[in-house]
Chains A and B, each alone.
Chain A
């Protein structure tokens, strides 16, 4: 006996709706599970006080500073390289074997597991370049990790700039550089910003690569050569070693709130960009 196409369609549609709604529900469940247990811990004191006694008491201020420093190094290094690569791929060359190789490398970098980045950062930045476990080692490792994201989003953004912008700039006697900086960059900027914001999100969330390159020292970092413990690493150590579940939930909540804010910001930029494009 076979079911009639109409009934099959009904069943399939019901299952698909059910699964999709369940996934969204699951997301809400995970997020609220952490937030409900963690948000009460998030007091002003918790955010502005340094951790003490291995994190058993005190707040998470030094880990917030460490996260921001590692992220800043990564973004400052990766942005010009990523945006520059995107400009090279779109404005300076045709599709060729070389662009294929560059794209393939970017895709490969995106696929490499973060723990392998950790190994690489440890042996290259920490040991070989003698930078030690430090903000700079962690930041440079993260820069390589977020490079593919920035390249991809920037390339898309640059490609979506109408050709006539460039034509107008050239017809007014603009040079290539003037055209890039004056005509293409401003209108591709929202897309590029989205890539950077997503990169920031990855830096904030990353644990495996950072713990092997920036270390896990709980002291407040004093320079970019200081070892540092980011929020994600701190949370991992608190939770895994069972040091303080209350503070683990608190740190996780802050991480989720930051990621939430980052996603909302990225979406708003994309939406405004799309609306403007119409």
Chain B
């Protein structure tokens, strides 16, 4: 009797635990069902490498947005990754405990601020600054990169901090015992030892940058043309959906779901790589 009840209980929790898996399946299936027909109609190659996005004329090419996504993300990584690494080294090695208990929540807070607020700050502060000092319209790849660089900091910092903290203290002690300075230890022993965790952190940070929508919509200018410099406006895959989903219908709406498919595939690939790296340790 008791055993039977226990089995039932176990089964109930098992069903609950299947929610994540079924949610993931339903999300994937519905996005694909909506998006695949238009990809078939246009052709996968023409959809991904097409240079022209003009829904009113029936042209659905997302290549400019893929370039937009790649350039904004690359920019964000170039600015964000070194800063994030400095912060995680700071938190694990240099910060006095008092400072640490203050800096760590501050960085967490950075993760909680709504992305629209970042976008708004970028629009009212970064964009005019770029327009005045560097030229161009201000709404640009550079503005998007700066905002995203700030937004991916918490992800990269917290994950690489964990991987630095999980190193055995023997590594550090051994290095000190051999007469290495603190920085030599960090640079030659700790960072290489935490390499895989840091790589995973960077990949997840990049994933966040690729997926961000609202902040980027406000500072990127959203032009469908291919950006020629970092001071040009651009459009990313996410902002393409965010801007046009409000009024799209028919083929146009399906093309936005197809954009979602591309996004989903990229994110899933990145996420799998990151998880493989973490698991290998």
Contacts and interface: CB of A to CB of B under 8 A. Distances in A.
Of B105, B117, B123, B187, chain A has the most CB atoms within 10 Å of the CB of: B117
Contact of A205 (B90, B113, B218): B113
Interface stretch (B8-16, B39-47, B58-66, B70-78): B8-16
Interface in A126-164: 128, 144, 147-148, 151
A204 B153 contact: no
A22 B49 CA distance: 41
B218 to A, nearest CB: 6
A218 B121 CA distance: 24
Contact of B120 (A118, A144, A208, A235): A235
A124 B34 CA distance: 10
B41 to A, nearest CB: 18
A17 B210 CA distance: 29
Nearest to A119: B260
B89 A207 contact: no
Contacts of A240: 217-218
B275 A248 contact: no
Interface in B10-32: 10, 13-14, 16-21, 23-24, 26-27, 30-31
Interface stretch (B136-144, B164-172, B176-184): B176-184
Contacts of A118: 241-242, 245
Nearest to A101: B21
Contacts of A1: none
Contacts of A24: 102-103, 106-107
B232 interface: no
Contact of B181 (A6, A176, A262): A6
Contacts, number: 234
Nearest to B91: A20
A19 interface: yes
B207 to A, nearest CB: 5
Interface stretch (B127-135, B223-231, B262-270): B262-270
A208 B30 contact: no
A246 B235 CA distance: 28
A236 B212 CA distance: 15
Interface string B236-256: 001001100110000000001
A30 B118 contact: yes
B13 A208 contact: no
Contacts of A27: 106-107, 109-110
Contacts of B91: 20
Contacts of A236: 116, 119, 214
A71 interface: no
B57 interface: no
A262 B111 CA distance: 12
B70 to A, nearest CB: 15
Contact of B121 (A16, A33, A89, A205): A33
Interface of B: 2, 5-6, 9-10, 13-14, 16-21, 23-24, 26-27, 30-31, 34, 82-83, 86-87, 89-91, 94-95, 102-103, 105-110, 112-121, 123, 125, 150, 153, 180-184, 186-187, 204, 207, 210-214, 217-218, 238, 241-242, 245-246, 256-257, 260, 263-264, 267-268, 270-271, 275
Interface of A: 5-6, 8-9, 12-13, 15-17, 19-20, 23-24, 26-27, 30-31, 33-34, 80-81, 84-85, 87-89, 91-92, 101-102, 104-109, 111-120, 122-124, 128, 144, 147-148, 151, 175-177, 198, 201, 204-208, 211-212, 232, 235-236, 239-240, 248, 252, 255-256, 259-260, 262-263, 267
